[in-house]
Structure 1
Amino acid sequence: MSTFKIREISEIALLAAFIAVSGTFKLPSFIPGSEFQLSAPIAVAICGVFGIKKYLLAGILASAGGLLLGTQTIFNVLIAMLFRIVVALLYAVLGKTKIFYLLSGPVASSAARLALSLFIGKAVYPLLAAALPGMIFTALTSGLFASVLEKTLNMTKRVYERS
């Protein structure tokens, strides 16, 4: 196996772990019951920095790990995959732009909440209202997370090229 393939597989595995672990952190909100996961802005940043293929593969691995560990259900995975697909589609359309980082999290969260309302038979507006603080947080921080990931990626590339 080539060094490039080993590096790529390792990178995807680390991204999957990053998504899975960040999904366990819930950030409080000023609206009771509307805490949100740290994984949304990190997922958007990963898509923007590493591209659609690595992002979706890492997301699938993170969800598979959650299923195997019993921390997620099929229902959780379906909602998460819808979020990931919407982010990937927006990346395909908008590219690596500020608009992508601002819009993809809120749009993907809205799509996931709409699907959730269809599954559980509840009104979509309360679900969207509860997600609003998380959407704002994601819109404001995904670009910041992307710049940190970009710097980290560039640093590892320089180290790799030296060796």
Structure 2
Amino acid sequence: MNKTREITLISLLAVIIAISGSFKIPGPLPGTEFQLSAPIAVAIAVSFGFKRYILAGMIASAITLTLGTHTIINVVIAMVFRVVAGGILHFFKPRFISITIAGPLGSIVARMVLGLLLKSPIGVMIIAGLPGMLYTAITAWSLSKLLIKIKSYTPFREMSYEGKSI
């Protein structure tokens, strides 16, 4: 693939991650709101592979940090999520079960790191994230299929998940 198309794709994915992170879905209790970017991020990792996903995530974090919408702690937590969720998809390949659990496991590990950084009870952090983890688990598969379908109508259609298809 030519470098211009690769750079364009990664930049576009970064913007999608950055913008979707600004949308919050309210949870049943205060403090349990959920960023829409989690299932979208999983779908991007499934559709375009770990390397492009991580690069796009790093750029998205730089954008949100520069705009002042995220702090260093937000960036650290987002990168932990990305490495765990993307790593699960990379090592276990994008199948229904790995796609379904990648986001929730990424959230659990990210919340553990957040609890350690803030010296807060990790159990409370994880419980507060359960509605979002459930939402991600339910929607990640269908969003992944949708993004693959959308990709099939773009100049990036010949790209598969690092040589694999789901």
TM-score, length basis structure 2: 0.91
Q: Provide the C-alpha distance between the structure 1 equivalents of 2:157 and 2:27, rounded to a whole number of angstroms.
A: 40
The alpha carbon displacement at 1:137 in A equals 0.2
Q: Provide the C-alpha distance between the structure 2 equivalents of 1:142 and 1:37, rounded to a whole number of angstroms.
A: 13
When you count helix as a share of all residues, which structure comes out higher? 1
Unmatched segments (≥5 aa) in structure 1: none
Q: Provide the C-alpha distance between the structure 2 equivalents of 1:47 and 1:6, rounded to a whole number of angstroms.
A: 20
Q: Which position in structure 1 is the counterpart of 2:80?
A: 82
Percent identity between the two aligned chains: 46
2:142 to 141, 144, 149: 144
Note the aligned Cα RMSD (angstroms): 1.5
Amino acid at match of 1:40: A
Distance change in 2, residues 1:123/1:56 (3 Å)? same
Q: Which position in structure 2 is the counterpart of 1:56?
A: 54
Q: Which position in structure 2 is the counterpart of 1:107?
A: 105
Q: Provide the C-alpha distance between the structure 2 equivalents of 1:158 and 1:136, rounded to a whole number of angstroms.
A: 31
2:42 to 41, 44, 63: 44
Q: Which position in structure 2 is the counterpart of 1:14?
A: 12
TM-score, length basis structure 1: 0.92
Show CA shifts across 1:32-88 (max 9, x none).
220010000000110011000100000000000011111111111011000000012
Q: Which position in structure 2 is the counterpart of 1:68?
A: 66
The alpha carbon displacement at 1:157 in A equals 3.5
Assess if the C-alpha contact under 8 Å between 2:26 and 2:33 holds in 1. Answer: yes
Distance change in 2, residues 1:90/1:124 (3 Å)? same
Q: Any idea what SS the aligned residue of 2:22 has? A: coil
Assess if the C-alpha contact under 8 Å between 2:46 and 2:89 holds in 1. Answer: yes
Higher alpha-carbon Rg: 1
Q: Provide the C-alpha distance between the structure 1 equivalents of 2:79 and 2:157, rounded to a whole number of angstroms.
A: 33
Distance change in 2, residues 1:158/1:12 (3 Å)? closer
The alpha carbon displacement at 1:108 in A equals 0.5
Distance change in 2, residues 1:49/1:124 (3 Å)? same
The alpha carbon displacement at 1:31 in A equals 2.0
Q: Which position in structure 1 is the counterpart of 2:23?
A: 25
Greater shift after overlay, 27-36 or 15-24? 27-36
